[in-house]
A and B are shown apart, each in its own frame.
Chain A
Amino acid sequence: MQEELIRRAKELLGDGTVVRVMGWRKGDLSFNPEPALFETEESLAEFVYDGFCGANLSKYMIKLSKLEGKTLVFLKPCDTYSFNQLVKEHRVDREKAYIIGVGCDGSLDVDAMKEKGAKGIQEITEDGDTVTVRAIYGDKTFDREDVILERCRACKGGAHMVYDELASNADEEKPARDGRFSLVEKIEVMDPKERFAFWQNELSRCIRCNACRNVCPACSCIKCVFDNDRYDTAQKANADTFEEQMFHIIRAFHVAGRCTDCGECSRVCPEHIPLHLLNRKFIKDINTFYGDYQAGADTDSRAPLTNFTTEDVEPSIVQERG
């Protein structure tokens, strides 16, 4: 697969269609490739595409579409939603991107493997549905299903929302998976006290590294309100008070109706806070109150929060529904 992508990238660079390639570079361990920019055919020797290439490259296109010439970018099906959403918000220029849609069997999560006992990892190999880990403290074999990222368990399906061409492993027919809201529902039925304790416990681990915000394709503000020290809203202290929650509530709110549920926020969180459950709650509410909506599925519809109908529910519904 990787060879095919490298060959295609070389061709496109060679015939001048694109002037640079945004992809992933091989890591120095078998599970840490990094997003990287390739500008020459030779440098593509380090290009890699495997199960650990979970990083969503859409957000890099904000920066790259300001440069001269076209950029080739590889997008997995769920990444294309983010890209579309950025096009809709005029943050990236569709004309500046040449998109190759790549298929995805679910991104691997090395932390999940570690939790399941892989320790002292020396090498990880994928073979279809099995993942084999060679490790100092005992080799392990996993079903791929057990070690994929949380977001892949609620995969939106194999269809690419936007692309110029598809790689041979793209599977447009791959069905979406259910159960996206099952965890949200589990929290909803808790007693308010339990819910409060649940979130207090999760959010108290936050170290304010801002990784969730910085990786989020929807968080594309040039200056974040929480970085702005002019209006007394800047937050830097890791105070064990309401501040943490405020940051996460407002961040989720600011991306409500624009969040495509790409799951990057939860992937990058060093403390594994299930931040996607905040976003999914907004998505679920939007679907219930204002009709089903998937951000990034198209580039021209109006987002739920920049839209209204005269018959919308009143905010008191929150109390009335009990």
Chain B
Amino acid sequence: MYKIKKEQISALLETVGKAMDLYLPVNNNGKTNFGFWTEDAKVDLETLKTVKSPKDAFFPQSEVLYSCYKDAKKIEITPQELVNRDFVIFGVRACDVRGFQVLDRVFLADPVDTYYAARREHGIVVSLACGEPEESCFCKVFDIDAAAPEGDVVMWAVEDCYCMEAKTEKGENFLELVKEHLEPASDEDSQKTAAEQEKIRQIIEKFPYSHLSLEGWDGNATKEKFDDPRWKELSDACLACGTCTFSCPTCQCYDIRDFNTGHGVQRYRCWDSCMYSDFTLMAHGNNRTTQMQRFRQRFMHKLVYYPANNDGMYSCVGCGRCVEKCPQGLNIVKVIKRMGGSK
């Protein structure tokens, strides 16, 4: 294990940022989101949850797939280059790291999504344990340990230092790159880290959602949950906006569209939301015509369909962003609570 003083972290980030693309939480006018490091970016490692999850780093909100340029009778097609240089995504929380694994099962399954795979191959994940988890967190419910995130390198904030440990070969290479800033951690530091982890786990026990029961929610509950009459009252207030979807670390639906540039076409893919009325719109119309059906789709996907196809793994990681962000106070916890339990 290595350590670095908190005030020296900006020097470390500068070294990384100059060597490769560095994607980390940046504050813009009071709101923190993952963004690229620049010399004057306001790096913010204190905020627990960025508004959007860091899934952008591997699955950007919109990305060009290829472009066409038309000049008289000639058409030039330029495919988009795949990411071919290493980049670092820094300060990811435990829930969001698990979110990447949820995405992996979708995009890295056959047929492999080459755009995603290239990013995943070159991305180095530096995770950060949650020193001060908050009331909307419920990662514990999905067996995620906020005190011991996964990732290539794991960091803990301990007193005035960050302790770092490489977990993979990629992680070791990363620490090699920044070793001038690091000093080896002593046994005392390891003990302090362990104490910090214990403290985090105790705090999490106090949260209202930490003991949420997932009973009744699994891949076998399709029929029973689908037909439940309570979906209507749960979805009455839904605005059909995409706030939950776009802030979620595991939502993976996208749309592919063409942008008419006036001199050709740019084919792009962008996040889509199952809450939108034009989601999976087909020539014959739409197969989900009411908001109740769309609302049900979102939660059934996370808690029933996805586990059914992925060995029981839920596609919710308990980050609590939807709990904080839903404009009308709806969220997955309310759904789990009101419709849970076995019958």
Q: A34-B328, A136-B203, A207-B51 are in contact. Are A28 and B257 (CB under 8 A)?
A: no
Contact residues of A between 116 and 171, Cβ < 8 Å to B: 119-122, 135-137
Output the least CB separation between B48 and chain A (Å): 9
In the assembled complex, the Cα of A232 lies from the Cα of B257 at a distance in Å of: 11
- How many residues of A are in contact with the other chain, CB < 8 A? 45
Report whether B28 and A205 are in contact in the complex, using a CB–CB cutoff of 8 Å: yes
Task: Judge whether A297 is part of the interface by a CB distance below 8 angstroms.
Answer: no
The minimal Cβ–Cβ distance linking B88 to chain A, given in whole angstroms, is 21
Check A34/B270 contact, CB under 8 A, given A28-B337, A227-B277: no
- Of all chain B residues, the one with the shortest Cβ separation from A223 is B277
* A73-81, A83-91, A208-216 - the one binding chain B: A208-216
Interface residues of B in 231-257 (CB under 8 A from A): 233, 236-237, 239-243, 245-247, 255, 257
- Interface positions of B from 50 to 98, Cβ below 8 Å from A: 51-52, 61-62
Q: Does B152 contact A (CB under 8 A)?
A: no
CB within 8 Å of A: which B193-214 residues: 203, 206-208
Whether A302 sits at the interface, judged by CB under 8 Å, is no
| Chain B contact patch, size range | 35 or more
B206 surroundings in chain A (CB, below 8 A): 122, 136
Contact residues, A192-236 vs B (CB, 8 A): 201-202, 204-205, 207-211, 213-215, 227, 229, 232, 234, 236
Most buried by A among B245, B278, B328, B331: B328
Q: Chain A contacts of B278 at CB under 8 A?
A: 227, 229
Chain A residues within an 8 Å CB radius of B277: 227
B259 within 8 A of A: yes
Q: Give A119 to B131 CA distance when docked, in angstroms.
A: 12
**Per-residue A-contact encoding for B287-326, CB less than 8 Å = 1, 0 else:** 0000000000000000000000000000000000001011
B62 touches A270 (CB 8 A): no
Which of B30, B233, B246, B257 lies in contact with A208, CB distance below 8 A? B246
User: Which of B135, B241, B337 interacts with A215 by CB under 8 Å?
Assistant: B241
Q: Which residue of B has the minimal Cβ distance to A35?
A: B237
Q: How far, in Å, is B202 (CB) from chain A's closest CB?
A: 10
Shortest B304–chain A CB gap in Å is 21
Which one of B31, B242, B255, B330 lies within 8 Å of A34 (CB-CB)?
B330
- Within 8 Å by CB of A35, from B246, B272, B328, lies B328
Knowing A115-B30, A227-B277, A236-B255, say if A36 contacts B241 (CB, 8 Å).
no
Cβ-neighbour of B329 out of A32, A119, A239 (below 8 A): A32
| Shortest CB distance A211–B (Å) | 4
A209–B242 touching, CB < 8 Å: yes
Chain A residues touching B, majority SS: loop
Indicate which residue in A120, A209, A234 contacts B132 across the interface (CB closer than 8 Å): A120
Cα separation A214 to B331 with both chains bound (whole Å): 17
Interchain CB contact (< 8 A) of A122 among B33, B135, B247 = B135
Q: From residue A298, how far is it (CB to closest CB) to chain B in Å?
A: 28
Closest CB of chain A to B226's CB: distance in Å?
22
Q: Which residue, of B243, B276, B277, B327, has the highest number of chain A Cβ atoms within 10 A?
A: B327
Contact A28 B208 (CB under 8 A): yes
Rounded to whole Å, the gap between the CB of B51 and the closest CB of chain A is 5
B191 at the interface (CB under 8 A from A): no
A304 contacts the other chain (CB 8 A): no
Q: List 8 A-B contacts (CB under 8 A).
A: A37-B233, A121-B134, A202-B29, A210-B240, A215-B327, A238-B62, A239-B259, A268-B241
Other CB < 8 Å A-B pairs besides A37-B236, A214-B241, 10 of them?
A34-B329, A34-B334, A36-B236, A36-B237, A115-B30, A122-B135, A201-B29, A205-B28, A238-B61, A270-B51
Chain B interface (Cβ < 8 Å from any Cβ of A): 28-31, 33, 51-52, 61-62, 132-136, 203, 206-208, 233, 236-237, 239-243, 245-247, 255, 257, 259-260, 268, 270-273, 276-278, 323, 325-331, 333-334, 337
A residues neighboring B (CB under 8 Å): 27-29, 32-37, 52, 55, 60, 115, 119-122, 135-137, 201-202, 204-205, 207-211, 213-215, 227, 229, 232, 234, 236-239, 267-268, 270-272
